[in-house]
Amino acid sequence: MKSKKATWKLMLAIPACIYLLATLQAINIQASDWSQWLGTERNGLSKETGLLKEWPEGGPKLLWSEDGFTSVNHVEGIGSGFSSPSIANGSLYITGMIDNNEILSAYDLEGNLKWRKEYGKAFSKSYPDARTTPTVDGNSIYVISGTGDVVCFDATSGDIKWSVKAFDKFEGKHGSWGIAESPLIVDDKVIYTPCGEKTTVVALDKNTGETVWASESINDKSAYVSPILVERGGKKLIVGVTGDYIIGVNAANGKIEWQFNYKETSEKGRDINAVSPIYHNGYIYVTSGYDHGGAMLKLSEDGTNVSLAWVDSTLDTHHGGVVLVDGYIYGANWINNGEGNWVCLDWNSGKTMYEKKWHNKGSIIYADGMLYCYEEKTGNLGLVKASPEDFTVVSSFKIKQGKGPHWAHPVISDGRLYIRHGNVLMVYDIKAK
């Protein structure tokens, strides 16, 4: 009798165990999502482990093709762009430009197209290709067009929930290269930086597109920077960069808590800023190319003001981004528009740990002890040890599909490496076997 009861209890437990396993698997998949610009926390760092520490000759296995088979080995038709894909909800979302119209495409994770919709006009001058990386929040997707339309999509159907011509509405002012911003979601708000004489940063209701608040104007033009969220002193601060300033905006009410004249940190300072800030433990790091260099700001305990900690002239990153790993900043500097070296700085002091030449400058992300460096001129992709001692390339291969500059940042999700080049998206298996 006891044996039968034990068997019955075991049978009842099996479905519960299966459900728990499925739940844990779902949590794991969600944890590996890359749901917005530079990943879930906007810092270019992946928390994934179990990835290859060395690639086969010619690169890791290429998974995706246009029709779901490996005969073509890439996905085309996404439109031209410099934006990166976002992965969430078991889907991939990516923007592109076709005939000066920007489109958002949704794929399943095997590369099959689910839907594709237009959402606005692209920038009309130099390098008009799509710039905004989609931000996925629940069942909504948010983008900002090259002409400043902020748009919300239904992630399942692709229907537009709302669209606001925000650049026109707030009388924005941008620099020579147009608008290149990816939306930031803070609680129930979508953040956008139109700048101009009317305002600087605005918050739209993420469900309706209605204006929640508009900050005061600092009478500047927008840069090409996607802001980050910082929590300090009980406040949520939106930290961004405009043409001349680094700013901290109270996310609750739009008050500009502080502004720092970034242009004055260098005699060669220019207003072509294109790198999202990094925040860690009360400090904010910003860098810019064209010999401008980097600046480290100390944020006060209550988040209401900043002071300059140090400046550096070596790591003047153009637009490939930087990452902070174990107390060191990694990225590439600007020598000229077609040349740059790879650099490591000490976070605390700004001391240069190394500056090494490898093909050219480019974009960078980090995962599982390794840097993924994608140089922009000829498309060499390097797997590099994240060490301040030296720039050691363990493996590399060249991206051959696609056209134009290799400006899109790599993405890692669930053991896959996503590389975009122009109108081609490639997906590689980088799981360790």
- Per-residue pLDDT of 313-364, as tens digits, reads 999 999 999 999 999 999 999 999 999 999 999 999 999 999 999 999 999 9
**Whole-number pLDDT of residue 33:** 94
Distance of CA 250 to the CA centre of its chain: 22
3-state secondary structure of 264: helix
Write down all domains in the chain, each with its CATH number in brackets.
34-429 (2.130.10.10)
Q: What is the pTM of this model?
A: 0.91
Give the CA dihedral 153, 154, 155, 158, nearest 10 degrees: -80
Tell which phi-psi region holds residue 4, choosing left (phi > 0), alpha (psi between -120 and 50) or beta.
Answer: alpha
Beta-bridge partners for 106: 93, 115
Tell which phi-psi region holds residue 359, choosing left (phi > 0), alpha (psi between -120 and 50) or beta.
Answer: left
**Whole-number pLDDT of residue 229:** 98
Helix (H) or strand (E) segment spanning residue 329: strand 328-332
**Whole-number pLDDT of residue 74:** 65
| Strands in 145-273 per DSSP E | 149-154, 160-165, 184-186, 189-192, 202-205, 211-214, 228-232, 235-241, 245-250, 256-261
Name the nearest CA neighbour of 185 among 156, 145, 212: 212
**Whole-number pLDDT of residue 267:** 83
Burial bucket for residue 23 (CB in 10 Å: 0-12, 13-18, 19+):
exposed
Token reading at 250: 């109270």
- Long-range CB pairs of 87-90, under 8 A, 24+ apart, other chains included: 87/33, 87/34, 87/35, 87/411, 87/413, 87/414, 87/418, 88/30, 88/33, 88/34, 88/35, 88/136, 88/155, 89/136, 89/139, 89/155, 90/29
Name the nearest CA neighbour of 322 among 358, 273, 265: 273
**Whole-number pLDDT of residue 24:** 34
**Residues of the chain whose pLDDT is less than 70?**
1-31, 65-74
**Whole-number pLDDT of residue 185:** 98
* Residue that the structure tokens 């396993």 belong to: 21
> Within 10 A of 344 (CB to CB), how many other CB atoms are there?
24
What letter would DSSP give residue 122? P
d(CA 35, CA 46): 12
